[in-house]
Amino acid sequence: MKFQNINTFLLVLAGISVTGLIFLGYSSTSLRYKEKRFCLNPDGKVVPVTPWLSPIVWEGTFDPLLIDSIYRQQNITIATTVFALGKYTQFLKDFLESAEQNYFVGFRVHYYLFTDQPEQVPEVKLGEERQLTVLKVPSSNRWQEITLRRMEKLEKLIESRLVNEADYVFSLDVDTKFYGRWGAESLGRLIGVIHPGYYQTAREQFPYERRPESQAFIPYAEGDYYYGGAVIGGLVKDVYEAAKTCREQLDIDAAKSIEAAWQEESHLNKYFLYNKPSKVLSPEYLWQDFKPHTNEVKIIRFSQVIKNYAAVRPNP
């Protein structure tokens, strides 16, 4: 009996030791990422998971055929909101045509297009079970105002329609183009995308809102990644909470005549700091056409096109 007790004690001790080593290993990794939050290891390999253990989606981290087949069985609808006001309607044709070739191919997709010029919406042939709804909105003489009000429009659309019409929703910038597959690997409860300009940057250099008087304020000692405002997605109810919260914070700032450094993107980063995304998309899902290709970004799936801002924006 004494011998069995000793064996039991040793097994328990070994279990505790292994658990402790795993915890210490994860803690040291978390601390390292708290300081740097890089998306790459020192050897140049991509980091496939966040410190809170959510996946970071890179090429090679998923089986496209398998994951698409799993989600197709669920008979889901993916709503996709796009804002094209003023001269930004010129980007619609490339956006929609490239989306039809690459974006959730084989899934039910419903585009909701907000525009002040419905007559400028191009005719684009959509695939089976894919549709486009045009929603007229007022014009604005400030691009910042257009950006600031997107969360409000998204919130109201979810309340009035999407809660009954869709399972997932993505809100995407229109001055973009799809260059590669974007499929079910991007689905999850709450989705953010790492900004392509800051995925190798220490968080102290992130362009967060640094003024304490703003609701979007993030201190220099805090922050995970810098997320791009051109993409937000997830389950309808979770995106609704994100949009609602950001809109409320935007309204509080507006009442104090404060405009965050990067408008809704600043507030989105603040939201993600305290409401961690369940899945993070790598810069493959938000690149910039003017940026050269890099070794770690094996494929560019979605990218912001080159443009003359002075020519397309209503104000500087």
DSSP conformational letter for 107: S
Q: How far apart are CA 316 and CA 310, in angstroms?
A: 7
Range of the domain at 91: 35-312
Of the candidates 143, 181, 211, which has an alpha carbon nearest to the alpha carbon of residue 59?
Answer: 181
Tokens of 168: 């997932």
Residues 6+ apart with CB under 8 A from 85: 114, 115, 116, 117, 137, 139, 140, 146
C-alpha R_g of the chain: 22
Q: Tell me whether residue 293 is annotated as binding.
A: no
Q: What are the C-alpha distances in Å from 299 to residues 164, 296, 303?
A: 35, 9, 11
Catalytic residue among 185, 265, 284, 296: 265
Tokens of 189: 């409860």
Is residue 215 within 8 A of residue 255, CB to CB? The reply is no
Number of domains in the chain: 1
Is residue 25 in some structural domain?
no
Is residue 268 within 8 A of residue 193, CB to CB? The reply is no
Q: Tell me whether residue 123 is annotated as binding.
A: no
Q: Tell me whether residue 265 is annotated as binding.
A: yes
Is residue 124 in some structural domain?
yes
Is residue 30 in some structural domain?
no
128 assigned to active site: no
Q: Looking at residue 308, what is its pLDDT?
A: 75
Q: Looking at residue 146, what is its pLDDT?
A: 63
Is residue 147 in some structural domain?
yes
**pLDDT tens-place values along the chain, 316 residues long:** 444 455 444 444 444 443 343 333 433 333 344 445 568 888 888 999 999 999 999 999 999 999 999 999 999 999 999 999 999 999 999 999 999 999 999 999 999 999 999 999 999 999 999 999 999 998 876 556 666 688 999 999 999 999 999 999 999 999 999 999 999 999 999 999 999 999 999 889 999 999 999 999 999 999 999 999 999 999 999 999 999 999 999 999 999 999 999 989 999 999 999 999 999 999 999 999 999 989 999 999 999 999 777 767 665 5
Order across the sheet with 176-178: list the strands: 176-178, 302-304, 287-288
Q: How far apart are CA 99 and CA 81, in angstroms?
A: 13
Is residue 27 in some structural domain?
no
Of the candidates 241, 239, 263, 238, which has an alpha carbon nearest to the alpha carbon of residue 250?
Answer: 263
Q: Give the SS3 label for residue 54.
A: coil
**Helix 150-157 with 263-274: angle, nearest 10 deg:** 60
- Please calculate the CA angle 226-58-270 and round it to the nearest 5 degrees: 20
CATH number of the domain to which 158 belongs? 3.90.550.10
Is residue 2 in some structural domain?
no
Is residue 105 in some structural domain?
yes
Q: Looking at residue 93, what is its pLDDT?
A: 98
Q: How far apart are CA 206 and CA 179, in angstroms?
A: 27
Q: Tell me whether residue 173 is annotated as binding.
A: yes
Is residue 170 in some structural domain?
yes
Q: How far apart are CA 147 and CA 189, in angstroms?
A: 24
